[in-house]
Structure 1
Amino acid sequence: MKGQEWYQADDVAEEYDDKRFSRGGQLIDHREKRAVLEAIMPVEDRSVLEIACGTGRFTVMLAEQGADVVGLDISAAMLQQGRAKTRGSNLSGTLEFLRGDAGRLPFPDDHFDTVIAMRFFHLADDPEAFLREMRRVSRDQIVFDTFNRFSARSVYNWALPMGSRLYSKSEVTTLLAKTDLTLVDVVDDFLVPYGLYRAIPNALATPIRTLDTAIGGHSIPDHFASVSYWNVSLR
């Protein structure tokens, strides 16, 4: 997986949330969490595996909503940050953090209701193999996101420290067909690239986000959205 060593560095893990989800990045955090919740609802009592859970943004949120969640990541440093977030959290569900490899998930077949993988597919060396492995341990649903080939992200993609794979809609649709998964819904968002939001204060980012959302509500700009949120079923 791309960026594996980079994500395991202590300083990267410690600064990860502040660099990406403070300032205007708060809008990204809110949108991603809403995408996950809307795909999984109702959350309560649902068993969920999050692959590449990182600092636990989604795992903690889902456990607070009443899900029984396992967060898996290759990076011990990221998991340490995730465990720190549980201190003082009011969890109505359960939460466990495990270190492990997304390519060889340490769970039996059909073990979870839902498997999610946010901020993951752009790093996957073999997306079909990873999708098959997620399908193996899920009995109902898989939720993931992809960064899009024809978006503004392609302009600065080369500068990212771990590289990044961009997808067209047709590529993902082909992956779903190969792994015998059924598309339930796909939502496109963020015409303005993430990097701009992170670079500016929230007060400035908010009106840009309002304009972005208004323009993105039309069908043609969807093809140029930076990210797509995919909700797929095993049925």
Structure 2
Amino acid sequence: MKGQEWYQADDIAEEYDDKRFSRGGQLIDRREKAAVLDAIMPIEDRKILEIACGTGRFTVMLADQGADVVGLDISAAMLQQGRRKARDADLAGTLDFLRGDAGRLPFPDDHFDTVVAMRFFHLADDPEAFLQEMRRVSRDQIVFDTFNRFSTRSVYNWALPMGSRLYSKSEVAVLLAKTDLTLVDVEDDFLLPYGLYRSIPNALASPLRALDEGIGEFSLSDHLASVSYWNTRVR
């Protein structure tokens, strides 16, 4: 996985949420969580695995909605932040955090209803192998996102400390076919890059987001969107 050493550093974990999901990044956080909730509903009592759960943004949210969730991540420092969030939350479901490798998931076949992998595929060295492993442990659904090749994401991609893999729609379609997954729905969003939203206060980011969403209503804009949210089913 790209940037593995950088990602596991203690100081990165401590600052991760503040740097990415404060200021205008709050809009990104809100949209990503909505995409996951919309794909999985109804959530209560669903057995869910989140790959690369990081600081637990989605795992804590899903447990709060009544799911039984396992969050897996390679970074002990990130998991520590997630456990801290879980302690502060009054969870309706159950939540366990586990350190592990997404390429070798420590679970039997068909163990989960849903597997979620957000903010992961742009770092994957072998996305097909990772997707195959997720499909192995899911009996129903896999939800993930990708950053798109023909988008503003490519403008600042070179500046990221770990690099980033960008995808075309056709590449993802090939991945789904190879891993025997059926596409239920895909949502495209954010014509403007994430980095712009994170760099400005929410008061400035909100009108930009409204403009972004307005332009996004036109079908041609789907090809220029920075991110796609994929909802797939196991055949």
For Structure 1 versus Structure 2, the TM-score category normalised by the shorter chain is: over 0.9
> SS where residue 13 of structure 1 aligns?
helix
Aligned equivalents of 1:102, 1:88: Cα separation in 2? 27
Aligned equivalents of 1:87, 1:103: Cα separation in 2? 28
Question: What letter corresponds to residue 11 of structure 1 in structure 2?
Answer: D
Task: Tell me the residue number matched to 2:197.
Answer: 197
Aligned equivalents of 2:181, 2:86: Cα separation in 1? 33
Q: How many residues align?
A: 235
Task: Tell me the residue number matched to 1:96.
Answer: 96
Aligned equivalents of 1:145, 1:88: Cα separation in 2? 28
Q: Deviation string for 1:115-157 (max 9, x for gaps)?
A: 0000000000000000000000000000000000000010110
> SS where residue 105 of structure 1 aligns?
coil
Aligned equivalents of 1:217, 1:142: Cα separation in 2? 26
> SS where residue 12 of structure 2 aligns?
helix
> Where in structure 1 do 4 or more consecutive aligned residues deviate above 6 Å?
none
> SS where residue 66 of structure 1 aligns?
coil
Aligned equivalents of 2:153, 2:232: Cα separation in 1? 24
Corresponding position: 1:141 with 2:147: no
> SS where residue 44 of structure 2 aligns?
coil
Q: Deviation string for 1:7-63 (max 9, x for gaps)?
A: 100000000000000000000000000000000000000000000000000000000
- Map 1:45-60; keep pairs closer than 5 Å: 45-60=45-60
1:175 Cα deviation from its structure 2 partner: 0.5
Question: What letter corresponds to residue 144 of structure 1 in structure 2?
Answer: F
Aligned equivalents of 1:234, 1:64: Cα separation in 2? 26
Aligned equivalents of 1:103, 1:65: Cα separation in 2? 28
Aligned equivalents of 1:121, 1:62: Cα separation in 2? 20
Task: Tell me the residue number matched to 2:105.
Answer: 105
Aligned equivalents of 1:217, 1:50: Cα separation in 2? 30
Task: Tell me the residue number matched to 1:176.
Answer: 176
> SS where residue 2 of structure 1 aligns?
coil
Per the normalisation by structure 2, the TM-score is 1.00
Identity of paired residues, percent?
85
1:87 Cα deviation from its structure 2 partner: 1.6
Task: Tell me the residue number matched to 2:167.
Answer: 167
Aligned equivalents of 2:4, 2:156: Cα separation in 1? 20
- Give RMSD over aligned pairs: 0.4
| Unaligned segments of structure 2, at least 5 residues | none
> SS where residue 62 of structure 2 aligns?
helix
1:88 Cα deviation from its structure 2 partner: 2.6
- Map 1:1-235; keep pairs closer than 5 Å: 1-235=1-235
1:217 Cα deviation from its structure 2 partner: 1.1
| Unaligned segments of structure 1, at least 5 residues | none
> SS where residue 87 of structure 1 aligns?
helix
Per the normalisation by structure 1, the TM-score is 1.00
